C-alpha cells in the first residue's frame, strides 16, 4: 500500500472514532443497547493554506485525486497518535496461538515493569492492520509476561499467530485508511490554496 504524502501537514484533526453501537429508547425512557461489531475509526484533518505551485502541492493533489477515483487504501499516521506513554521496551511477542477476545497474552517485555503500557496507548500485532487500543495500564511480571486489555476485541477466526510481533512504538504504527470525504477551498490567483481543505479518513483494516 502506498504512503499518503505528508510533506504538507494538516493543521487540525479530530480524534479517531469508532462507529457507534445501536440504541433504541422506550416510552419509559429505558434504553436497549447492542454493541456494533463493525470497526474502522474515522477522523478528519483540516489543512492550512498551502502553495499548489510546488512539487509537494502537486503531489498532494495527485494523491487526493487518486484516492477519490480509485478509493486507494493508504498507509497514513494520525497526526496526534505518534507517541505512547508507557515505559515500553523489550521485544514483545504474542504468547500462544488461538487467542481471541478483549485481552492478549504477550511475553518478551521487560521484567517487573510498572506501567509498561498506559491506558489509551496503541499497539499493532503482526499479521493484522487493525490498530488496537490499550484499555488499562499494563504492568509486566517477573518473567516479562503481561496481559494486555484491548479494544476492539479479537474475534474468532482472526487470532494472531504464536510469537507474532507486537509493535508498541506508536511512531512506527500506521493506519491503513481510505479517503471518504473531501472539502476543497479555492485556489488564489498566485497559486495558494486557501486554508480549510478538509480530508476525512476511514480506517480500512485487513
Contact between residue 8 and residue 60 where contact means Cβ atoms under 8 Å apart: yes
- For residues 122-134, one letter each, b for 16 or more C-beta atoms within 10 angstroms of the residue's C-beta and e for the rest, the string is bbbbeebbbbbbb
Q: What is the mean pLDDT of the chain?
A: 94
Buried b (16+ CB within 10 A) or exposed e, 59-80: ebeebbeebeeeebbbebbbee
Give the pTM.
Answer: 0.88
> So what's the pLDDT on residue 35?
66
How many angstroms separate the CA atoms of 20 and 117, rounded? Answer: 26
Which residues are bridge partners to 134 per DSSP? 150
pLDDT > 70 fraction of the chain, expressed in percent and rounded: 99
Say whether pLDDT at 157 is over 90: no
Instruction: Judge whether residue 38 has pLDDT over 90.
Output: no
Which domains are delineated in the chain? Answer: 12-79+174-203 (3.30.200), 93-172 (2.40.30)
Q: What is the pLDDT of residues 80-101, one digit of tens each?
A: 999 999 999 999 999 999 999 9
Tens of pLDDT along 15-31?
999 887 777 888 788 88
Does position 178 have pLDDT exceeding 80, yes or no? yes
Amino acid at each position: 500500500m502506498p504512503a499518503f504524502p505528508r510533506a504538507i501537514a494538516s493543521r487540525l484533526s479530530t480524534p479517531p472514532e469508532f462507529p457507534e453501537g445501536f440504541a433504541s429508547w422506550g416510552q419509559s425512557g429505558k434504553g436497549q443497547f447492542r454493541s456494533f461489531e463493525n470497526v474502522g475509526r474515522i477522523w478528519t484533518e483540516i489543512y492550512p493554506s498551502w502553495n499548489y505551485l510546488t512539487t509537494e502541492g502537486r503531489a498532494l493533489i495527485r494523491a487526493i485525486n487518486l484516492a477519490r477515483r480509485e478509493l486507494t487504501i493508504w498507509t497514513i499516521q494520525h497526526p496526534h497518535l505518534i507517541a505512547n506513554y508507557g515505559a515500553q521496551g523489550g521485544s514483545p511477542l504474542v504468547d500462544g496461538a488461538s487467542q481471541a477476545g478483549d485481552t492478549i497474552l504477550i511475553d518478551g517485555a521487560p521484567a517487573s515493569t510498572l506501567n509498561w503500557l498506559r491506558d489509551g496507548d496503541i499497539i499493532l500485532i503482526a499479521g493484522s492492520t487493525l490498530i488496537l487500543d490499550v484499555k488499562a495500564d499494563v504492568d509486566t511480571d517477573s518473567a516479562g509476561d503481561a496481559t494486555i486489555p484491548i479494544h476492539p476485541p479479537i474475534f474468532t477466526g482472526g487470532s494472531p499467530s504464536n510469537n507474532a510481533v507486537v509493535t508498541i512504538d506508536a511512531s512506527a504504527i500506521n493506519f491503513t485508511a481510505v479517503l471518504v470525504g473531501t472539502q476543497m477551498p479555492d485556489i488564489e490567483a498566485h497559486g495558494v490554496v486557501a486554508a480549510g481543505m478538509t480530508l476525512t479518513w476511514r480506517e480500512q483494516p485487513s
